[in-house]
A and B are shown apart, each in its own frame.
Chain A
Amino acid sequence: MNFGNILWVLAQGVGQTVLVTLACMLTGLCAGLSVVVLRRLQIRGTAWLLEAYTYVFRAVPVLVLLFIIFFGLPAIGIKVSPLVSMMLSLGLIAGAYLGEVFRGAMESLDPQELVAAEAMGLARGQILVSIELPQMLRLAVPGMLNEFTTVLKYSPFAYTVGIPEITRQATALASTTLRGVEIYLAAGLLYFGIYQLLRAGVRAVEKRFEIPGFGTN
């Protein structure tokens, strides 16, 4: 079995790795956006909840949260599928970090533009949708890409709940052959390839929505 064969076997898991990564990132984006929007609208009684979510989900290890959800919840009668378990652990943790990325981006908006929008007579929700979110999301691209990469790098945890992604294929192969170094190097190579693809994808989206002179200063 040469390196090419190994790569080919592990590549069977690429689809699942990408699926897990995208599903978790999407969960994280939804959670992070909800956090920043709720925080921005200053809805009474939500502030402490948002702070608690942000604090707790950044303090608990991904693996521990994943085990609470996948192995812990069934013990009290709630069964959660492997992919959903990943989304609720890795995804929500990414959401807590993304919420902070978005908060930072919101803080760097120009307060004068927001006053101008208010002076125009736009409603709070209109200002959020037309001014704040479009600008904030553009400013948050580096932070989002960073978090995207982190999610990809934690995606191997999916093997512990039986999702047949790259690392799962690697452990299976490594248990039947004694070629650990090549196998895990090949796995690393595949992750690196996916990372490059993700990055190119994000850059393409960024380019598509690029505005001259915005976000570069």
Chain B
Amino acid sequence: MALLEVKGLVKRFGDRTVLKDIDFSLEEGETKVIMGPSGCGKSTLLRCLNRLIDPDEGQILFRGEDVTRVGTDVRLLRQRIGFVFQQFALYRHLTALENVTLALRKLKGLSGREADEKALLELRRMDMETHRAKYPAQLSGGQKQRIAIARALAMDPAVLFFDEPTSALDPEMSREVVALINRLRFEGVTMLCVTHDVFLARYVTAQVIFMDAGEIRAEDAPERLLSGHHDARIREFFGNSGGSDA
């Protein structure tokens, strides 16, 4: 059984259809990258999957269970999906450590000590343990993104979602984060990553889903999408942004 299976997903904003009949699946331990020009609906898709946005039609099966059904415990679903944002979205009034422990204490009901232990483990995994007492404003972009990843991983999620994880970072830091994502991949973490960073897609060598105007146009290995694809839209996308990003 796939971890995540999406069938015929449709989302409209007013009379604009931003997701048109989306189908794809994600297996346990698999990593997929969703790419496409800005406004193609890839971020909306990600937010539909954890129900930050409610889809209008279609099914989302999470381990076989349709989570679009009325009565689904949305908060429980979200606790099983780690979400990493483009702008990090760390809580500015909490230290790095507190950012990681918040959900452990409030949602998993761990004691302060248990939460600290678990959080320190995740911070160590991200090589951020020494920065645990710092506030977000005292950290660099790359460091913030590592804390954000640690915050998501601490909940032992079934899958990790990334929404443009590198686009707010300078090239050097973005490479660091890409290497980190790659490491998580080899550790067997299931991931779904929305990005327009070709370097990320190529380095992680995951299956790429290419979206345009609310539709999935292709799903393939990155090198096959990059080199003279038969779809003109795909050639155009990688032709324009591929050169500068990679």
Task: Report A's interface with B, CB cutoff 8 A.
Answer: 110, 112-113, 115-123, 126, 130-131, 134-135, 138, 211-214
Contact = CB atoms under 8 A, between A and B. Distances in A.
Contact of B89 (A112, A122, A212): A112
Contacts of B113: none
Contacts of B89: 110, 112-113, 115-116
Contacts of B91: 113, 116-117, 131, 135
Interface string B106-133: 1100000000000000000000000000
Residue in A110, A121, A135 with the greatest tally of chain B CB atoms within 10 Å:
A121
A116 B135 contact: no
B182 to A, nearest CB: 23
A214 B90 CA distance: 12
A211 B136 CA distance: 10
B92 A116 contact: no
B78 A130 contact: no
Contacts of B155: 120
A135 B89 CA distance: 14
Given A110-B92, A115-B52, A134-B93, A211 B135 contact: yes
Contacts, number: 72
A207 to B, nearest CB: 15
A123 B103 CA distance: 11
A121 B92 contact: no
Nearest to B79: A121
B35 interface: no
B12 interface: no
Contacts of B138: 212-213
Contact of A211 (B78, B92, B102, B106): B92
B246 interface: no
Given A113-B90, A120-B107, A130 B135 contact: no
Interface in B69-94: 75-79, 81, 83, 85, 87, 89-93
Given A115-B52, A119-B50, A214 B135 contact: yes
Interface in B185-209: none
Nearest to B78: A121
A123 B106 CA distance: 9
B137 interface: yes
Contacts of B135: 211-214
Nearest to B90: A113
A116 B78 CA distance: 10
A113 B88 CA distance: 8
Contacts of B85: 112, 115-116
Interface in B125-152: 135-138, 151
B61 to A, nearest CB: 19
A12 B171 CA distance: 68
B52 A118 contact: yes
27 contacts: A110-B92, A112-B85, A112-B87, A113-B90, A113-B91, A113-B92, A115-B85, A115-B89, A116-B83, A116-B85, A118-B78, A119-B50, A119-B52, A119-B81, A120-B83, A121-B103, A122-B75, A122-B106, A122-B107, A126-B106, A130-B106, A131-B93, A212-B137, A213-B135, A213-B137, A214-B135, A214-B137
Contacts of A115: 52, 85, 89
A213 B136 contact: yes
Contacts of A121: 75-79, 103, 107
Contacts of B52: 115, 118-119
A20 to B, nearest CB: 33
Contacts of B106: 122, 126, 130
A133 B92 CA distance: 12
Nearest to A214: B92
B35 to A, nearest CB: 21
B79 A130 contact: no
Contacts of B83: 116, 119-120
B50 to A, nearest CB: 6
